[in-house]
Chain A
Amino acid sequence: MTNTIQILSIEKTGKESSLQKEHNNKSIKIIDGYFFSRNLDDQKFTKISKLISNDVSQTILTKKNVNKVLSSYSNFNWVVEIKFLPGVTDNIATTVKEIINDNLKSSFKSFELGSTKIILIKGRKEDITKISKNEANPLIQTIKIYPFKQYLNNFKKNQFKIERVKLPKKKYSKKEINLDISDYNLSLIGKLGIEENDKSRRGTLGLDLESLKTIRNYFSTIKRKPTDVEIETLAQTWSEHCKHKIFSAKIDDIQEGIFKKYIKGATEKIIQLRKDNFCVSLFTDNAGGIEFNKEWIICHKVETHNTPSALDPFGGAITGIVGVNRDCLGFGKGAKPIANTYAYYLADPNKKYQLYRQKNKDPMLPANFIAKGIISGVRVGGNCSGIPTPQGNVYFDDRFAGKPLVFCGTVGIIPKKIKGKLSHKKKANPGDIILMAGGRVGKDGIHGATFSSEELDPNSPVSAVQIGDPITQKKMSDVIIRELRDENLYSSITDNGAGGLSSSIGEMAKESGGFIVNLEKVPLKYNGLYPWEIWVSESQERMTLAVPPANVKKVIKRFNARGVEATIIGKFIKKDKAIVKYNKTEILNLDMEFLHEGYPKLNLKTSFPKIKKEKKKIIKKSSLIDKLHKLLSSPNIVSKEFIATQYDHEVQATSIIKPLQGEGRVFGNATAIKPLFDDEKSIALSQAAYPQYAETNPYDMAGCSIDTAYKNLIVSGANSKKIAILDNFCWCSSDEPDRLYQLKEAAKACYDYAVAYQTPFISGKDSMFNDFKGFDKTGKSVKISIPPTLLISSIGVVDKISHLTKMTSDDGDILLVLGNTRNELQDSVYSKIIGYEKSKNPVVYSKDALRTYRNFEKANKLGIINSAIGIDLGGIGIAVTKMAIASKKGLTIDLKLKNKISVDQFLFSESQSRILVSIKKNKLANFKKVFKGSDYTIIGKCTGSDVVKFKDNKKIIRGKISDFAKSYKQNIKGL
């Protein structure tokens, strides 16, 4: 009899080698353990072991062989046992359970099991402690360290245990909350949460005093006390995360708020000017939709998952990516996700910041742990879901030490019409059944929406972490897209993300009027959840559907046949009422109008900030080639190939412009997919953000982001009339007037440049408090705010395959820079790495830029352009070396300088709106015709040798391409 199955891989696994390398210790071995709640007799043990292991590559440990087998590897002396905390999603355990149930049918039933990672090590205890800290996250896992002898003993005495969620069995009685209390006590409810009977608090609601007073007034008018569920629901619905109160607030003299005036305002202005069908669905749905061709719509959405990723980088990132996939599934009647995008803004993984959330305790995770966790979270989420992840980037800056920014995006595709009806229109009708499909509900992610709207401080709740399960979502997604949608079996659909059911049902009910939900019907991961927890839980992988009663049976059957759970939990009604019951007791009854619009509107004031000037750094004297090497190997320019190769960008067989380009594999700044087999149109994707420019001039920073994201698509070959953009504002301290001033400036630039470029905003999201308040290692209190970051994601349609460009030049090509190079080195990579020069920040001159772009587009269609790269970080110098590395062909660059510009300014200035192109010699005359009256400079030619030559009047400087490639492909230290 035993209650554990433990499996050892005979060969060294990748995880083992990386652990061994990282800790410089060859005596490390990892065992996959499964702890059962019931004993297995010998026959069951053998049968189950065989089901979950492979006899060629693995050994099953038994009481008899354990000693001998393990001693053949090393003289282990310590064991680190890592298990999930009770209640945390354990995907492996779920799979194992399914295999056992399928194979053993009823002969082995009603058991629980937990998957466990057991690390055996020979070493000193202090090293073991270090290893365990690196391998587990205490927020979601338990770590036990004990001597190897005890492990053997446990084995013999059957002492491996799984822990289950033991929630006290409480009988629920309706809880009413007294709000007729002092302002101080009222604000405590907002900050710390509702008080339980034992005086403990539930965790932050993120409601300010004014909101609580508004709630109090509402209930005094309807002459009763609010229930806990009502307050929780209002907190979710009114959260900054859901309502974007700052963007909709009156700010200075802008009555309608910056969203309406600048973001939506820009799009409305553009639609008014364009008069075409390009924009299909804007701002109202889970994602923004544009026309792809006559039959299809594509949608795009980009989300952030910053706070969860700071606490649990892997979990935060994986739920970020599968979460935004659901935004596509919830676009219109359900779009199929066809591409993922990512952008990470991280602290230097090679530095130890040593930050603590509380004085001398509760440390922030190390920067490299955060970076690695985020990168692998998106890998697992994207790869397991079968969605290609071609497009992304990473940027490093110390100011992200307190909070990493994790942007996850998804592109989806949906036919314009489904059974003759417009697919982007959906409406839950009164009488429709509310169906919850997908995963079950647990305590995970409670208060996610309210806390991601707040700063990260000691009271940040830990239960706000969710674990993603991409396979459950994939199963659910396949049913929706393939089996339900095209038969029009449901009338509306949306995803369960922030705020869980309270948000999804609350949003959908706007379409019908109101809703009645019976919370006891919701399937749970384990018993003992309070109704309010069920209502706001952010357990992942769930969609909410509005299904006409006649179709409900059919829909549930389809889900079940694919191993997906679907449950009726209520219905939509016509009356404008939000009603929630738990075992027939009414625990929520609110007017829909108050629920959605009742929150107090903010009235914000801004003030001009003190500009934080770039620190002067003396320029070290070094050669031009040396400088190029330094820039190429700097973290923000160096190749991100190691991410591109671990993210499957080929699945769905749509990749047409890949993340790594040219024979020399240069990480491109735009990629393209061809989503339909029968149409040669492609979708080009790019993105840009310039947090480094933000403090100097937020208006220009935003301009640069829009210009770069737009330019990259033009360079890739997209049709300029079919480009749309998305805004993701990640700000800091958005209650401070100077930060709000920066916000207003950036938003104003969004309007100006979007209108100038005629690129509508189709979707956006904001995250306003990316600040860390805590302590450094000496116990001194610190506040670290991210630099204001505006990520602009761009999506565009490329009409023909022949329009898609490449970045590799050929022998004899003439090299040109389109656009103007100015002395704009301020906040550049050059000024950070090499040294500060008195200079200006980059500014976008939209008229000039547009002239360049229109001419480029024309020339590209005429076949004049042979290759092209958008010039961005590191300027012309980096663009030409990248071109040489990609094509493995030498270039000669003539440094004929205009406008009193120095060599370094010419080569490294980050002036915007420039493109490096190469053209065949015989196309020069045609080129000149197209570009008449436009700024361009011939800067050299492609020689096909193995060096890049820089020539000025006096001398020639050479750098070998293979050396440049080496610098460019260096590993990022700490990763």
Chain B
Amino acid sequence: MNVLVLSGYGINCENETLHAFEVVGFKGKIVHINDLIQNPKQLNNYQVFAIPGGFSYGDDTGSGNAMAKKILTNLYDQLIDFSLKDKLIIGICNGCQILINLGLVPSLNKKDPEVAMIENKSGSYECRWVDVKVNNNKSPWLKNISILNLPVAHQEGQFMIPINLLKSIKANNLIGLQYINNHKKLAKGQFPFNPNGSKDDIAALTNQNGNVLAMMPHPERAFYHYHVPNWQNNTSKKFGDGYKIFMNAKKFFA
């Protein structure tokens, strides 16, 4: 099991993302986008393609856009090919924004992009912990998970989806994660439970196969128990909720 973790141009969560994969049993490598463009065939060596969080191109022209355009220009076919195989792709935070801008999720009309990531309703950057519930557990990434406590850290985390598309997204069960409130009910847009005002409290989308997951919260930052706020009150567990996502990837190939 090999994971390729993308880096370059302001992506910045590659170390902790790779670490999370390694702990659950993957072998992995951080690969700079320019090296991948030079030698796209190396993708064949990997079963998981991960685009970590960060600030690629400083969010200029919209978060994830510039990097998506770089991939579109240089690597698009290879990535589509990867997504059509029995392989997994995950985009976390900026990685999520990149996948959305590439149209790899929800990928219903095969026309890019179908969804936009826009600025948080609060107008400010939000770094805080949220609860999300799993909506679509047919995705290998999300199997057998019900609720996750994870941090978000973004300025543009609001999913903007045209009404018709939203209908088909729901019909196809492509909403991966949704923000919930302190009573475990959908946040209904209420801040801070829904940190960005995303419609239908969407925190993650998948493609139809479920093998491509674009999520705004950061599982790699909720990997160990001591990542979780106020962990001192509960030191019995070794891992935080983010661990489950990476374990699911392992189970998929096991």
Contacts and interface: CB of A to CB of B under 8 A. Distances in A.
A99 B58 CA distance: 13
B65 A651 contact: no
Given A95-B61, A645-B128, A56 B116 contact: yes
A923 to B, nearest CB: 16
B154 to A, nearest CB: 9
B150 to A, nearest CB: 10
Nearest to B74: A102
B213 to A, nearest CB: 19
A663 B230 contact: yes
A383 B53 CA distance: 11
Given A471-B9, A475-B8, A653 B123 contact: no
Contacts of A58: 62, 116
Contact of A96 (B55, B60, B70): B60
A96 B61 contact: yes
B238 to A, nearest CB: 12
Contacts of B61: 32, 52-53, 92, 95-96, 99
Contacts of B113: 54-56
Interface stretch (A8-16, A160-168, A595-603): A8-16
Contacts, number: 168
A653 B35 CA distance: 26
A109 interface: no
Interface string A336-370: 00000000000000000000000000000000000
B122 A11 contact: no
A969 interface: no
A14 B123 contact: yes
B13 A651 contact: yes
Interface stretch (A180-188, A191-199, A740-748, A801-809): A801-809
A622 interface: no
Given A475-B10, A562-B32, A386 B54 contact: yes
Contact of A11 (B34, B53, B60, B118): B118
B127 interface: yes
Contact of A52 (B8, B65, B125, B227): B65
A107 interface: no
Contacts of A779: none
B114 interface: yes
B227 A656 contact: yes
B66 A98 contact: yes
B62 A54 contact: yes
Contacts of B65: 52-54
B119 A650 contact: no
Nearest to B53: A651
Nearest to B64: A54
Given A645-B126, A661-B230, A478 B116 contact: no
Contacts of A806: 230, 232-233
A385 interface: yes
A94 B9 CA distance: 13
Contact of A13 (B10, B53, B119): B119
A962 interface: no
Given A95-B66, A658-B229, A54 B58 contact: no
B116 A563 contact: no
Contacts of A102: 69-70, 73-74
Nearest to A802: B235
A379 B125 contact: yes
Interface in B156-187: 160-162
B232 A14 contact: no
A140 B174 CA distance: 46
B220 interface: yes
Nearest to B73: A103
Interface in B18-45: 19, 32, 34-35
Interface of A: 9, 11, 13-15, 17-18, 32, 51-58, 91-92, 94-96, 98-99, 102-103, 379, 383-386, 469-471, 474-475, 478, 561-563, 642, 644-653, 655-656, 658, 660-663, 674, 677, 801, 804-806, 808
Given A11-B160, A102-B73, 8 more contacts: A15-B123, A56-B114, A92-B60, A94-B60, A95-B60, A96-B60, A647-B125, A808-B230
8 contacts: A95-B61, A384-B58, A386-B12, A469-B58, A471-B57, A651-B13, A662-B230, A808-B230
